Amino acid sequence: MLSCESAFQPTHVFVLEGLPSSFSQVSLDLFRGGYESASKRFNPADVEVDVAGRSFLVTGANSGIGKATAKEIARRGGTVHLVCRNKERAEIAKEEIVTETGNQNIFLHIVDISNPKEIWKFAEKFQNEHKLNVLINNAGCMVNNRELTEDGLEKNFATNTLGTYIMTTALVPLLEKAADARVITVSSGGMLVQKLNVSDLQSESGPFDGTMVYAQNKRQQVVLTEQWAKAHRNIHFSVMHPGWADTPAVRSAMPDFYERMKNSLRTEAQGADTVLWLAVSAEAAKLPSGLFFQDRQPVPTHLPLAYTHSPPEDEEKLLEVLEEFSQKFKSASPGI
């Protein structure tokens, strides 16, 4: 959703006022025109596939990129599990997907991804009742003021980082039983301006900047994907940047930016295109696990000359801290 410069075409950049200074240079490649240009090299056959019999789980699936992804998978015959926080909006999304695609194999699960105990409870139940081929971690938030969840966790961290970590690690055993198992995490190019910071994961020190906290969370997702790819060789992991898309999240979290740029934003389907490609295409699975994608191709995870590389010990520390949180909330979840 956010970006500084394009990691591979740094000349196509303009300055946008009204954003934090770190995001004031916005790549034209991330808007609708960039997608339309990139799509000229796409092979339509990559996603013209039948995925009947395969099971997909999409978090944050009641709107935006999550719903667009779920709908396209449903069109291709996949069984789709929608994991959403708001029951009313989720039921409307499910009805829309079933009506438009004719696919009846759409299942709804109400889970708050910022609540670790809920995720654990859901994952344990899901493993006993369903199979899973592809997990799509799409749920996320950008809260601009520091808020704590009922568990005392900073809300952006709880949703974007810890929630993604628990959902993924809890479902890894199920994924390892599946053929051609994949995990796709929807990140953001905003992470390019952030170096992994494990000393203040919950943004307790200094002034709170929701945009930069979000970007740090997205860097954490990239690091997690790289580490998971090393640890679980039987699962194909990827993380991606959808570009600037016209989604409810952008409209609510960045209203000034939206008003300025709404006529240039990608559609939800365009933002979801690479997620779909990573989830269903045979070509995506031929590429190494653990890469960062934009517009169906791997792109660098660091800008040229940027001081955003982190030492291995910091990446290990991130995993250790998240695992400690995970086990703490697992033990606090009833029936687990």
- For residue 8 the two structure tokens come to 């591979």
Measured torsion, CA atoms of residues 107, 85, 252, 261, in degrees rounded to the nearest 10: -30
Nearest to 241 by CA among 197, 288, 184: 184
Q: Any idea which residue has 């198992």 for tokens?
A: 181
Residues 6+ apart with CB under 8 A from 233: 289
The span from the CA of 324 to the CA of 320, in Å, is 6
User: Is beta strand 181-186 parallel, antiparallel or unpaired with respect to 25-27?
Assistant: unpaired
- For residue 334 the two structure tokens come to 């009833």
- Say if residue 79 is exposed, middle or buried (CB neighbours under 10 Å; 0-12, 13-18, 19+): buried
Active site residue 35: no
**C-alpha 296: how far from its chain's center?**
15
Q: Is 318 within 8 Å of 223 (Cβ atoms)?
A: yes
Using CA atoms, how far residue 239 sits from 60, 293, 324, in Å, is 16, 6, 23
The span from the CA of 269 to the CA of 189, in Å, is 18
Segment holding 179, helix H or strand E: none
The span from the CA of 220 to the CA of 173, in Å, is 22
Name the amino acid, one letter, at 121: K
Marked catalytic residue, from 165, 214, 258, 307: 214
For residue 199, the SS3 value is coil
Q: Is 300 within 8 Å of 7 (Cβ atoms)?
A: yes
* Max CA separation in the chain (angstroms): 55
The residues carrying an active-site annotation are 214
